[in-house]
Amino acid sequence: MINDSSLNSFAFYGHQAAAKVNAISTLYKGIQTPLDLYKALSTIWCKETCGPALQPEWTLDNKTLGQCSITAFLAQDIFGGDVYAMHTENGMHCYNVVNGQCFDLTSEQFGDKARELVYTGNILQHREDAIHFAREEKFLRYKNLSELLAEFCNKKSL
């Protein structure tokens, strides 16, 4: 479990709230909170899991770029709750709300503009919607990310 002093090392929106959220799935060993998930994904996010339109801009310094919807739905698999999306200058951006706790594991992609994001009054998302898993490329990126996470968790527990 993450202690309070280590919460300062997380920069994503809602990291304090995320510390209060517990996994409802045991599918991924060692992932107990969204903080654990963020730490694992930080080693896994890659250009191939980034949205195709943003892949040319993806770098190791901005690992969360283009990862929002597949990350939010993966977090939903693990923690339950809802996925919401807000309009941004680059399109829709997804984040999670679980038991009233709002967190956005990929907010760092916006840099200083992350402070301008509004996490209220946004649109509830469903993975089968046309902008999500009805798109084969997005479903395949989600599947790839979930498989990479499973591999990471299995290696870590050996």
Total tally of structural domains belonging to the chain: 1
- Contact between 49 and 141 under an 8 Å Cβ cutoff? The reply is yes
- In this structure, what DSSP letter does residue 39 have? H
Helices 34-44 and 68-79: crossing angle in degrees, nearest 10, is: 140
**Does the residue 131 lie in any domain?**
yes
Quick: pLDDT tens for 70-107: 999 999 999 999 999 999 987 899 999 999 999 999 99
Given this model, what pLDDT does residue 6 score? 47
Quick: pLDDT tens for 34-69: 999 999 999 999 999 999 999 999 999 999 999 999
**Does the residue 25 lie in any domain?**
yes
What residues pair up with 13 in beta bridges, in sequence order?
104
**Does the residue 3 lie in any domain?**
no
**Does the residue 74 lie in any domain?**
yes
pTM of the model: 0.93
**Does the residue 9 lie in any domain?**
no
Given this model, what pLDDT does residue 5 score? 41
Q: How many whole angstroms separate alpha carbon 10 and alpha carbon 122? A: 24
**Does the residue 5 lie in any domain?**
no
- % of the chain residues with pLDDT over 90: 84
Joined together, the tokens standing for residue 69 give 């919807």
Work out the end-to-end distance of the chain between its first and last CA atoms, rounded to an integer number of angstroms. 19
**Does the residue 6 lie in any domain?**
no
Given this model, what pLDDT does residue 156 score? 72
The torsion of the CA quartet 156, 133, 73, 112, rounded to 10 degrees, works out to 100
**Does the residue 1 lie in any domain?**
no
Residue 122: which domain range? 15-156
